[in-house]
């Protein structure tokens, strides 16, 4: 049970980092989703921490934001 809580905390940290960087770059959720080739609703859930992220999705987001994976996973 403790592992699950830590897992959710980490997902939320990553989700907030993605949202923060997206906003800093002046991108809408729609624009970033388009650049990543994912549905806008999926990106919205991801940024809210309501869905699990795959490495593939994280890499696509990083590419679209022009950042390194380590920039959102600290």
How far apart CA 51 and CA 44 sit, in angstroms, is 9
The tokens describing 64, both together, are 């679209």
Instruction: Provide φ and ψ at 69, rounded to 5°.
Output: -55, -35
- Shortest CA distance to 32 belongs to which of 73, 3, 72? 72
pLDDT confidence of residue 4: 56
Kind plus residue range of the DSSP H or E element containing 19:
helix 2-24
CATH superfamily, domain at 2-71: lambda repressor-like DNA-binding domains (1.10.260.40)
The tokens describing 18, both together, are 């993605």
**Stretch 41-51: mean pLDDT:** 95
**Stretch 7-32: mean pLDDT:** 95
Higher-pLDDT residue of 5, 22: 22
How far apart CA 9 and CA 34 sit, in angstroms, is 27
Q: Looking at 1-5, 11-15, 24-28, which range is the least confident one?
A: 1-5
- Flag whether pLDDT at 30 surpasses 70: yes
pLDDT confidence of residue 45: 96
pLDDT confidence of residue 24: 97
Which of helix, strand or coil describes residue 56?
helix
């Amino acid at each position: 049970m403790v592992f699950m809580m830590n897992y959710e905390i980490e997902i939320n940290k990553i989700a907030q980092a993605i949202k923060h960087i997206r906003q800093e770059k002046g991108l809408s959720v729609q624009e970033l989703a388009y650049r990543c080739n994912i549905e806008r609703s999926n990106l919205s859930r991801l940024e809210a921490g309501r869905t699990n992220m795959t490495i593939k999705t994280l890499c696509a987001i990083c590419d679209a934001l022009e950042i390194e994976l380590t920039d959102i996973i600290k």
